[in-house]
Amino acid sequence: MPPRPLLICSIGNPGPQYANTLHSAAHTVLYRLASHLGYPSFQKDRSWGGGLLSKPRFAGGGEGRNWTLWQSTAYMNESGKGVRAALTAWKRSLPSGEGEGRLVVVHDELEKPLGAVSVKTKQGLSARGHNGLKSCAGSLGGVEWVRIGVGIGRPESRESTDVARYVLRKMDSEQKMAVEGAVEGVVEGLRRLEVG
């Protein structure tokens, strides 16, 4: 059985002021994944929900050749509409006979240690307060999708202002290295998803 095509979407906040923040860790991972796979630079594509798109240059064998990478350019709490539009465009772009594709949403995960990766295939899970996941769940309706969480750790305080300050600050070099290192666990999860 050929590998299943995957649409891998990252959600985070847009613009330079949010680049390299813990809340946009998924975007950092997707940039690293594109580099790991030898994909071209991300390009804005209006027909794909206005997000940033990167696809393999050539068809054929090799790791990730059935993977399409897409980054949301909406704010986290509005990311679901773009993910839905990207999914629609991706399904139209799949050649007939490619088999059933799978949607994967990569996001930051406060409840996991920095750089840890979790793959959740079960449907209807709680968003645990994550506004990006809430937005995706609301926009995707009955669509089955997989969540890949990238751990960003949690501040000691549980006060919402302290948590917001923590997730919206720029990553230091140690944090960035741990988040970029998560790409290995993400690739491992994607390999399992494309065959299962």
Q: What is the structure's pLDDT at 59?
A: 60
23 has catalytic annotation: yes
Task: Please tell me the distance from the alpha carbon of residue 114 to that of residue 103, in angstroms, as a whole number.
Answer: 24
Consecutive H or E run containing 140: helix 131-140
23, 27, 107, 130: which is the annotated catalytic residue? 23
Strand order in the sheet with 102-109: 43-44, 52-54, 67-71, 6-10, 102-109, 145-151, 117-120
Domain ranges of the chain: 6-195
Reported as a single tens digit per residue, the pLDDT across 85-109 is: 999 999 998 877 566 789 999 999 9
pLDDT of residue 61: 56
Q: What is the pLDDT of residues 123-150, one digit of tens each?
A: 777 767 788 999 999 999 889 999 999 9
pLDDT at 196: 79
The structure's pTM equals: 0.93
Q: How far is CA 103 from CA 38, 144, 161, in A?
A: 21, 7, 32
CB atoms within 10 A of CB 127: 15
174 pLDDT higher than 80: yes
Query: What mean pLDDT is predicted for residues 98-121?
Result: 91
CA nearest to 82, candidates 14, 173, 32, 170: 14
What is the pLDDT at residue 64?
Answer: 67
Does the structure show a pLDDT above 60 at 167?
yes
Q: Which residue has the tokens 């006060």?
A: 159
- Look up the CATH number of domain 6-195: 3.40.50.1470
